[in-house]
């Protein structure tokens, strides 16, 4: 795996997070050290929003010569699976990042977390709650009204320790008791109104098995993990801003108890990715998969990283995208075209060119010798002549695009129509003489004559000035292949939201916005060089866009191609 090149600190783009880190370093906090972390929960597949976070956290570590930890917050055994762990590791590595020795799991710290919870009980900062979930909601209050103390809030330390140990021993069913932090039920921040920190879960954990039946809440575990791993800057999205006071309260309380030294980690929040034409809600992604609106988690239309990889999106494109959109404190929407343009920019440099005819009709050159074949030569990449040229066999019968012939041309049409001349790219100039039709009037073949002295690359080629330039594949040497034309999964920029210009409208089912044209499967005629394409090889199909050999369904000598993105943005109004 090749890691992305680190930017010199002074050359990397600045942002408010870097400014905060620079100030911490100026003050000498953590000795100038910078350590970040990427902490996914292993309960699903990563999506485009995670790519932004991954690039940010690993990128900050690279800029400052620090480390970024890969850590799995596996604190909910009812939703987590090893399958997700493996998929997340593969996705982060595919993006080009390496955590070295810093691979961690929350479950590595369960013993320490339990001991810290007992300490909080001992110093009067936690208690066992026996109210039901409904009763707790009633006691919690509202955003405008304070909560009230639970009748169990003043249990003695001895009783709380005994109950918590019995919870751990498995004596109680799920939901009977929870452990709560004791902070302030009248706090204006509802997250400080004695938040839950441990709950009973009789479920088998994917790493610890049945050893535990009490598990820490994410908001309790996450700060502790940061501190245990000596993370300096815990960078997360804005929805955790209201949780920062609890993050600080917990780490300060545990530092007072001698569990951590100061300074404790600093939480910094940034705006999450809001991208048009996709849904990034885990619930909605699960619904799309389970209800089979897509073909699985790696469907190229789904905004998962495994889907993006199968579609042909590149790690370089994602890293460029993250750099281009930057980070901010305020929510905003990024148009999907920005991500697609980042992919185009990289693929334009990286993808070799090939020829594919997606909607083929036969072209017959009536004055070309039957059975004769000659070689034409096409550059593998016009921007990189060092990649050389490849041979393209030329013959009497060729496949061309159906749209490249019109029996009755419209104004401004410069391709083939009776009496007009056009150049066959890398080959000869031809003059259209007519066409053949079937009994229903459908065009079955276009008829032309070629000019023998007009071959590209020869002196005679300059004698002919024509406006039309067509791509083609020789019938005798082409091969038919499955090509999948992927497009955006949703036809609305904001799936499920009110229609633009209709502020009084109601929220709609996001499934109603699925684009019925998001996938077309066709049989195309490809140039012979493409037969040897290996899975995940990327190409520009001239005139059509960028394509990738499918990593799942391609076979040796028989690749299947997915369209990654068109050459230009076709969604502009």
- The catalytic site residues sit at 41, 272, 282
Distant-in-sequence, close-in-space partners of 161: CB < 8 Å, separation ≥ 6: 118, 121, 122
Q: Is 237 exposed, middle or buried (0-12, 13-18, 19+ CB in 10 A)?
A: middle
Tokens of 146: 């304070």
What phi, psi does 19 have (nearest 5°)? -65, -40
The secondary structure of 225-252 as a DSSP string is HHHHTT-SEEEEEGGGGGGHHHHHHHHH
The reply to whether 404 sits in an annotated binding site is no
Task: Return the closest-CA partner of residue 456 out of 434, 478, 474, 471.
Answer: 471
392 φ, ψ (degrees, to nearest 5): -125, 110
- What the block records as the tokens of 401 is 């695009």
Q: Buried (b) or exposed (e) across 505-515, using 16+ Cβ within 10 A?
A: eeeeebeebbe
Cβ burial of 200 (10 Å; 0-12, 13-18, 19+) is: buried
42 is in an annotated binding site: yes
Distance CA 399, CA 475 (A): 6
- Strand 266-270, strand 233-237: pairing: parallel
Q: Does the annotation place 125 within a ligand binding site?
A: no
Peptide bond between residue 263 and the one before it cis (omega within 30 degrees of 0): yes
Give the span between the Cα atoms of 244 and 253, in whole angstroms. Answer: 14
Contacts of 247 (CB under 8 A, 6+ apart): 219, 222, 223, 234, 240, 267
Q: Is residue 284 annotated as involved in ligand binding?
A: no
The response to whether 281 counts as a known ligand-binding position is yes
309 labeled binding residue: no
Residue 189 is given by DSSP the state: S
Judge whether 515 is annotated as a binding position: no
Within 8 A by CB and 6+ apart from 287, the residues are: 293, 511
φ, ψ dihedrals at 109, nearest 5°: -110, 10
Strand 178-181 with 196-200, pairing: antiparallel
Can you tell me the distance from the alpha carbon of 402 to that of 553, in angstroms, rounded to the nearest whole number? 28
Phi and psi at 235, nearest 5°, equal -95, 120
Q: What beta strand segments (E) does 149-208 contain?
A: 178-181, 196-200
Residue 329 among known ligand-binding residues: no
Has 73 been labeled as part of a binding site?
yes
Q: Annotation-wise, does 273 bind a ligand?
A: yes
Strands (E) in 73-167, as ranges, are: 103-105, 126-129
Q: What is the 3-state secondary structure (H, E, C) of 439-461?
A: CCCCEEEEEEEECCCCCCCCHHH
- Segment holding 266, helix H or strand E: strand 266-270
237 known member of a binding site: yes
**Which residues fall within 8 angstroms of residue 213, CB to CB, at 6 or more apart?**
167, 168, 170, 200, 201, 202, 203
Task: State the binding site for L-glutamine.
Answer: 73, 218
> Which residues line the annotated binding site?
41-43, 73, 218, 237, 272-273, 280-282
Annotated binding residues for ATP, written as ranges, equal 41-43, 237, 272-273, 280-282
């Amino acid at each position: 795996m090749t890691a992305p090149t680190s930017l010199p600190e002074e050359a990397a783009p600045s942002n408010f997070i870097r400014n905060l880190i620079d100030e911490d370093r100026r003050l000498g906090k953590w000795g100038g050290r910078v350590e970040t972390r990427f902490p996914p929960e292993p309960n699903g597949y990563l999506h485009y929003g995670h790519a932004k976070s991954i690039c940010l956290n690993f990128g900050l570590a690279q800029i400052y010569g620090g480390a970024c930890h890969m850590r799995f917050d596996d604190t909910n055994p009812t939703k987590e699976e090893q399958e997700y762990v493996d998929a997340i590791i593969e996705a982060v590595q595919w993006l080009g990042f390496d955590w070295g020795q810093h691979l961690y799991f929350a479950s590595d710290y369960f013993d320490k977390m339990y001991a810290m919870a007992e300490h909080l009980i001992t110093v009067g900062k936690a208690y066992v709650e026996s109210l039901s979930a409904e009763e707790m909601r009633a006691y919690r209050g509202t955003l405008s009204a304070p909560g009230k103390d639970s009748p169990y809030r003043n249990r003695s330390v001895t009783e709380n320790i005994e109950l918590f140990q019995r919870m751990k021993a498995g004596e109680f069913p799920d939901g009977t008791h929870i452990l709560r932090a004791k902070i302030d039920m009248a706090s204006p921040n509802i997250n400080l109104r004695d938040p839950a920190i441990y709950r009973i879960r009789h479920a088998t954990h994917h790493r610890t098995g049945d050893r535990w039946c009490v598990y820490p809440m994410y908001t309790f575990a996450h700060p502790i993990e940061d501190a245990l791993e000596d993370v300096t800057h815990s960078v997360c999205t804005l929805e955790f801003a209201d949780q920062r006071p609890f993050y600080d309260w917990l780490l300060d309380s545990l530092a007072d108890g001698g569990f951590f030294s100061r300074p404790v980690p600093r939480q910094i929040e940034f705006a999450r990715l809001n991208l048009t034409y996709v849904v990034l809600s885990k619930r909605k992604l699960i619904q799309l998969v389970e209800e089979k609106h897509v073909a699985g988690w790696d469907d190229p239309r789904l905004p998962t990283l495994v889907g993006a990889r199968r579609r042909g999106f590149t790690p370089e494109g994602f890293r460029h995208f993250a750099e281009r959109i930057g980070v901010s404190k305020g929510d905003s929407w990024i148009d999907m075209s920005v991500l697609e343009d980042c992919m185009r920019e990289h693929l334009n440099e990286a993808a070799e060119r090939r020829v594919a005819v997606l909607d083929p009709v036969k072209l017959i050159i009536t004055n070309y010798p039957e059975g004769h074949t000659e070689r034409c030569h096409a550059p593998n990449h016009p921007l990189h002549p060092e990649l050389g040229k490849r041979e393209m066999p030329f013959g009497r019968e060729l496949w061309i695009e159906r749209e490249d012939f019109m029996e009755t041309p419209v104004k401004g049409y410069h391709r083939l129509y009776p009496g007009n001349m056009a150049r066959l790219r890398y080959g000869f100039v031809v003059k259209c003489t007519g066409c053949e039709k079937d009994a229903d009037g459908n065009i079955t073949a276009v008829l032309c004559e070629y000019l023998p002295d007009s071959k590209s690359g020869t002196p005679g080629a300059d004698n002919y000035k024509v406006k039309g330039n067509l791509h083609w594949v020789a019938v005798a040497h082409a091969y038919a292949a499955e090509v999948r034309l992927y497009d955006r999964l949703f036809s609305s920029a904001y799936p499920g939201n009110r229609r633009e210009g209709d502020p009084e409208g109601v929220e709609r089912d996001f499934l109603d916005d699925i684009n019925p044209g998001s996938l077309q499967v066709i049989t195309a005629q490809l140039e012979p060089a493409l037969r040897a394409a290996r899975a995940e090889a990327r190409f520009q199909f001239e005139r059509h866009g960028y394509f990738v050999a499918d990593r799942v369904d391609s076979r040796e000598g028989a690749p299947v191609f997915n369209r990654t993105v068109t050459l230009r943005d076709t969604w502009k109004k």
